[in-house]
A and B are shown apart, each in its own frame.
Chain A
Amino acid sequence: MEALRDAFDFRDFSKVEQIILVLFSIFLFIFPWLGFGSFVKTVMIYFLLFSLFGMGWNTIGGYGGQVELGKAQYVGIGAYTVALLMVWWKIPFWVSMPIGVLIAVGYSFMIGYPLFRLKGHYFAIATICTSLVLQDLFINWKLVGAAKGIELPIRDHPDFLYMQFKSDTYYFYFIMVLFFAGLFYMNWFRKSRLGYQLRMIKDDEEAAESLGIDARWCKIKAYSIASAFVAVGGGFLAVFNLYVDPYSVMDLDLSIKIALMAMLGGAGSMWGPIIGAAFLIPLDRFLGSWLGGQKGLIGVDFMIYAAMIMVVSAYQPRGIWGIIEQFRRK
C-alpha cells in the first residue's frame, strides 16, 4: 500500500512541474485525435518508447551512476522472445512479453554478477562487449533467423492478443500505458530504499559500504530492473515493427542512444530521460528525413546531433534538467 501511495504521490515536485505533468498527460491522451499524420504518430510512439528505455537506464545509469552501454542486448532479448514464441508456437504477446522480461532479468543477473566487479569505464566497456557478443551470436544463429532476422506472421484480422492493429493509434495508447506505468514505477523507485542506496553508491561508494549497503548487490538489482524495463520496450518493438533482426534491435547504436538520451536530459532525475527523448527523437527523425534525403547532406543530421550533445555536456554535465535546475536555484 505504501509503495502504491509513493508511486502516485507527486507532491514533492514543484507546482510548475506538477502542472506540466498534468498538461503533458492530457496532451498524450488526446494526441491521436489532433489529426497528425502517421509520421508524427510514429515519432511520438518512438518518443514514448525511448522515454521508457531511458527511464530503465536511469535506474542503474542515473541513480546508480554506473555508465551502462549495453542495454540493446535486453531490447534484443525482449524483441526476440516475443517474435520467436509467436513464430514457433503462436504464443500471444501478453504471454511472451512477460517471458521475455523474465529471460532478460535472468540474463541480467548472469551478466551483472561478474560485471559489477568492474568499476567506471571498465564496466562501461564490458557492457558494450557483452552486448556485441550477443549480437554476433544472433547474427550467426540459423535457428533464430541469423542476420536476416525474423518476420512476425501477420494475422488476418486486427488481434488484441497478438497486438496487431491496423492503426498506429492503438500502438500509441499501448506504449502510453507502458510509459505511465514506467513513470509511476520510477516515482516509487526514487523514494525507495534501493533508490536511496543507489544514490549513495553514486556519490561515494566507500561510504555507502560503511553504511551497510552491499554496493554490488544493489547495482545488480538496479541493473536487472533496468533490463526489465528495456525488455518490455523490446517486446513492443517486435510487434510494432513486425520484424526483428539483430541490426535493428541489438545494435551498439541503440545502446548508446538509450544512454545518451538519459544523459542529455539529465541522468539521475525523474524527468531527465523524458526530456532527453523529447529532444533527440524528433531531432533524429526530422533531421534524418529532411537532411538525409537531400543530396550531399547525408550525415549532417548526425553532426548536429553530436554538436548538441557536446554543447550540453560541456555546459552542464547533469544535462538539460541540470540546466533547468541551475536557473531555478538562482
Chain B
Amino acid sequence: MGTEGRARISPKFCNCISLPALYASRQFFHTFPFTKGGRGGIDEEEVYIVAFLQVIDLVKDFGGVAANDHVSFDIDQGEIIGLIGPNGAGKTTLFNCIVGYHKPDSGKVLFKGKEITGLKPFMTNREGIGRTFQIMKVTAGMTVLENVMVGAFCRIDRRPIARKEASEILAFLGLERVKEYHLNELPIASQKKVGLARALATQPELLMLDEVASGLNPKETEEMVDLIKKIHHEKKITLFLIEHVMEVVMPISQRVIVLDGGEKIAEGLPKEIVKNERVIRAYLGEKYAKGL
C-alpha cells in the first residue's frame, strides 16, 4: 500500500542527508579566508547547485498542527511544477514558507544555491521569486496600470520606463483594454490576470501561482491555461503552481507534487500521479478509495 509512491521519491530523500552536508561545507568555505579566492580550483557554483529551487525537510507547525511536515523537493529551471492536495493539505503554507510570509520551524529553502530560508517576502522577491495570491484584495485605490507599475518599480527607478514596461506586460497578457480601470471594477478573471501581471512586472525567475484558476468558469480557465503556457514559453520563467482545478494542473505540469496533511505523499508525472493509490485515497477518502 503506497509503496509505489515511497519508492519513487526515495532517491530524492537522499538529498535530505547529502544536501545539508554540502551546504555546511559551503558555509565553511565561505568563512575560511584562505580558500575564499581560489577555492582550490573548484568552481563552487558548479559543484553545489543541484537544483533551481530546493526545499529541504521543511517543517511548519501552527500550534501543534503540522501544516508542513518534513517536505522536501527540487525544482529545476524551466519546469512547470504543479502542487496539488486536498483542502488544508498545507499547500499555501508551503508557498508562504518559501516566499517568507511564514518562517519555517526547521528545514531549508535554497534558491539558485543560495539559502533564502526566513528571508522577508520582499527580499525573496528581489532574489527573483514572484508570487500571486489566491484571494486578491480588490480596492479602488489604484488602476490596473498603476498596479503593474508598482511591480515594475521593483527593478526600475524611473517612472516612464516603469510605465512602458507595465504597458508591455499588460499587452502581453491581453489586458491593455482595462488598463485605466480600478481593480474592483473588473471581473474576477481579469483581477487574477492583474495579479499575474504585477508579479511578472517584478521580473521573477520563478513564479509561484496560488490557485490562479479558482473561481473561473471553464472558458476563462482555458484562457488562463493558455496564458500560463504562453508565459512559460515566451518569458522562460519557471512556474510553480498550486491548483485545485485538475483541468489546469494536469495538462501543463511537467511534474506534480501531492501534499496531504502536511506531508508530501507523491511526486511524479501527471499521468502517474492520477493512478497513485495514496493520492486517490487522499482525494476521495478511505471509504471510497476501498471501493476502487
Contact residues of A with B, CB < 8 Å?
A: 2, 6, 191-193, 196-197, 199-200, 202-204, 206-215, 268
Contact = CB atoms under 8 A, between A and B. Distances in A.
Given A210-B199, A212-B202, A200 B150 contact: yes
B202 to A, nearest CB: 5
A208 B159 contact: no
A63 to B, nearest CB: 10
A2 B161 CA distance: 12
Interface residues of B, number: 34
Interface string B202-228: 100000000000000000000000000
A319 to B, nearest CB: 14
Contacts of A193: 153, 157, 159, 162
> Dominant SS at the A interface?
helix
B267 to A, nearest CB: 26
Contacts of B158: 2
A95 to B, nearest CB: 33
Interface in B123-137: 125-126, 130-133, 136-137
26 contacts: A191-B159, A192-B159, A196-B146, A199-B141, A200-B142, A203-B137, A203-B139, A206-B101, A207-B137, A207-B195, A208-B150, A209-B101, A209-B121, A209-B125, A210-B121, A210-B122, A210-B131, A210-B132, A210-B199, A212-B122, A212-B125, A212-B154, A212-B155, A213-B150, A213-B154, A268-B141
Nearest to B155: A212
Contacts of B149: 196
A191 B99 CA distance: 29
A196 B121 contact: no
A210 B153 contact: no
Interface string B174-202: 00000000000000000000010011011
B135 to A, nearest CB: 10
A210 B133 contact: yes
B253 interface: no
A203 B183 CA distance: 11
B9 to A, nearest CB: 30
Contact of B133 (A199, A207, A214): A207
A108 B155 CA distance: 27
A206 B139 CA distance: 14
B133 A211 contact: no
B142 A199 contact: yes
B141 A212 contact: no
B180 to A, nearest CB: 12
B185 to A, nearest CB: 11
A214 B122 contact: yes
Contacts of B131: 210
Which of A6, A212, A214 gathers most chain B CB within 10 Å? A212
A202 B202 contact: no
B120 A196 contact: no
Contacts of B270: none
Contacts of B199: 210-211
Contacts of A213: 122, 150, 154
A203 B153 contact: no
A254 to B, nearest CB: 28
Contacts of B157: 193
A200 B121 CA distance: 15
Contacts of B137: 203-204, 206-207
B198 A199 contact: no
A211 B154 CA distance: 7
Contacts of B155: 212
Contacts of A214: 120, 122
B147 interface: yes
B141 A196 contact: no
B151 interface: yes
B159 A215 contact: no
Given A199-B141, A199-B146, A200-B142, A207 B136 contact: yes
A202 B141 contact: yes
Which of A197, A199, A210, A214 gathers most chain B CB within 10 Å? A210
A194 to B, nearest CB: 9
B130 to A, nearest CB: 7
Nearest to A213: B122
A237 B139 CA distance: 38
A232 B199 CA distance: 39
Nearest to A268: B141
A204 B195 CA distance: 12
Contacts of B162: 193
Nearest to A204: B137
